[in-house]
Structure 1
């Protein structure tokens, strides 16, 4: 019996304890990032694309919420305009420790544990706030966006990235139904996604723009995809035999087509206070 998908993979994506467990360190995040770095077809890369969209001016104050391991800032902090200051923050103390270790050499960078639902800064502190691929984890999204608006200066910009409800998740769901027709894995919609993000953000910001990142995956190493799936689910919920079956299923696809091809839905919202 194929039991892996009887459990909810990320059905508690916005539950605090699950987020704490998933992101106590950067192991799971690194596995997920690695899949996209190795197998994305858009060779510009998501981070490079983001920095083409960010607008930083001299002396601006930048806050990133949910910074994770701070990967997007590698080789970028030194390129910030003159006088800029950057605060890297995360809900996880483990992540804050990682970015402090990686970036403490920069005088213009500080580090802080912050819950986006209660941002510990005065009103109108920042010119730019960034929250990438994290808003769908937040229990009280409306309160969080009110907090972001509060700490932004008038005319300040809020950059937030997220996924759509298409792309990788329905691909994986359809694949897993071969093993368990009743499976509901990878069917829960993100609470904040490309499809509903504009409406949600428009309740808090005067001007909202959506920009899609055109990309797909062409996975030539099957184990990378299996590792990605493992990183999203409690490891105690499945057996090695389950994983072998899953690997063989995707490996057959890779051999037949030369790669496991998956469309991606990902994009950026730019919101102005």
Structure 2
């Protein structure tokens, strides 16, 4: 088990929405693909009238802002998270919506009956799960035949590769961003095909062009509880990245992100 999927670390990381908001801010402000990842996701989602939809690891529920009210007629949306703090955030945001429920739950033990949901979503969270086979088995169990499972994730390259190289240059004693995530664009297809009949991968082409160095430092600091470095270890990183920004006009980082769409036949 890595730090990324140790329960106590994940609980601390997502006890409220502050860390996630800092990471989201970096991508919203500095991504070069102006469509945005969430609008791209909603082009891939297929919602129909009367669907029961479950999001696992919903975080602060950002993807539903200005969208939850346009779900097809008679849909029910269950927003769930392992963190009680996150569930409170989404309840405060969306409790006025008649078609929304908020619930604290663990993907490894989903408290719903078999064949219950038409759509299940788990974006950028499967690499935090300690027992991924158990989690995917549970997703399959509660998904209806013909239902779809949407799982967005990152690649093991892109931003991770860039930061891995930066850490070696600034502080050779830090061994950060070297361990492969448990669920990535590279291994996700093979993992999902053990549980689902049809799995398709869709890549989202994007990069970062960061013009405010502090936003990148804020991103790094927001990950401390699930990283192999402390806040003090980041001393010197601002100057390193700021020198790059001044020389090149921006800190340019390729991103690897995408979505797997799995169907239970």
The TM-score bracket by the shorter chain reads over 0.9
Which residue of the other structure, out of 193, 198, 207, is the alignment partner of 1:207?
A: 198
- In structure 2, what is the equivalent of residue 103 of structure 1? 94
Structure-1-length-normalised TM-score:
0.93
CA distance in 2, matches of 1:245, 1:152: 48
Equivalence for 1:245: 236
| Correspondence 1:70 to 2:56 | no
- Between the aligned partners of 1:47 and 1:181, the Cα distance in structure 2 is 36
Aligned residues: 262
Q: Does 1:43 pair with 2:47?
A: no
Q: Distance in 2 between matches of 1:189 and 1:255?
A: 31
SS of structure 2 residue aligned to 1:216: strand
| TM-score normalised to structure 2 length | 0.96
Instruction: Name the counterpart of 2:185.
Output: 194
Q: Cα offset for 1:245?
A: 1.7
> What SS class does the counterpart of residue 237 from structure 1 fall into?
coil
* Aligned residue among 108, 113, 116 for 2:104: 113
- 1:176 deviates by 1.4
Q: Do residues 90 (structure 1) and 77 (structure 2) align?
A: no
Structure 1, residues 102-150: CA drift from partner, whole Å, max 9, x if none?
0000000001111000000000110000000000000110010010001
Aligned to 1:4: none
**CA offsets per residue over residues 196-244 of structure 1, 9 Å max, x none?**
00000000000000000000000000000011001111499343xx645
Is contact 2:170–2:240 with CA below 8 Å preserved after alignment? no
For 1:238 and 1:115, the matched residues in 2 are separated by 29
Change (3 A) 1:258 1:11: farther
Q: CA deviation at 1:180?
A: 2.5
Mapped to 2, the partners of 1:78 and 1:254 lie a distance apart of: 41
Change (3 A) 1:238 1:128: closer
Q: Aligned residue for 1:173? A: 164
Alpha-carbon distance, 1:177 to partner: 1.1
Q: Does 1:261 align with 2:246?
A: no
The equivalent residue for 1:153 is 144
2:224 and 2:231 in contact (8 A); partners too: no
Work out the CA distance in 2 between the residues paired with 1:170 and 1:243. 17
The answer to whether the 8 A contact 2:207-2:254 is kept is: yes
Q: Residues of 2 paired with 1:91 and 1:45: CA distance?
A: 26
Q: Which runs of 5+ in 2 are unaligned?
A: none
1:19 pairs, out of 10, 26, 32, with: 10
Residue 216 of structure 2 is aligned to residue 225 of structure 1: yes
- Residue 188 of structure 1 deviates from its aligned partner by 1.1
User: Mapping of 1:28-39 within 5 angstroms?
Assistant: 28-39=19-30
Unpaired runs of 5+ residues, structure 1, are 1-9
